[in-house]
Amino acid sequence: MACDSSYPILLTSPLRMRVKLLLSFSVLDEQFVRNYQFFGEKGQNDIMNARVVVVGLGGVGSHTAVTLARSGI
């Protein structure tokens, strides 16, 4: 990926844009294969465009934040 011309954009663009750009690479598509199978393309796109607020990053909040991030939000 270091040779990719998109790499500088990853360092300077807002987080949501970086995530969408990273998802365009096939390696990360594999991470969400199960989500696409379960929710379908529209459902996964809705998840990726969702906004969530996690109040508190203690015992439950930290696990919730990680789970949300891993699901594509």
Which residue reads 């906004």 in tokens? 51
Go through 1-39 and write b for each residue having 16 or more CB atoms within 10 A of its CB, e for each that does not.
Answer: eeeeeeeeeeeeeeeeeebebebeeeeeeeebeebeeeb
Closest CA to 69 of 56, 54, 58: 54
Which residue reads 């529209």 in tokens? 42
Q: Residue 24 pLDDT > 70, yes or no? A: no
| Tens digit of each residue's pLDDT (9 = 90 or more) over 26-69 | 656 677 788 888 888 888 888 888 888 999 989 999 999 998 88
pTM for the full predicted model: 0.53
Domain residue spans in the chain?
7-71
Higher-scoring residue by pLDDT: 2, 73? 73
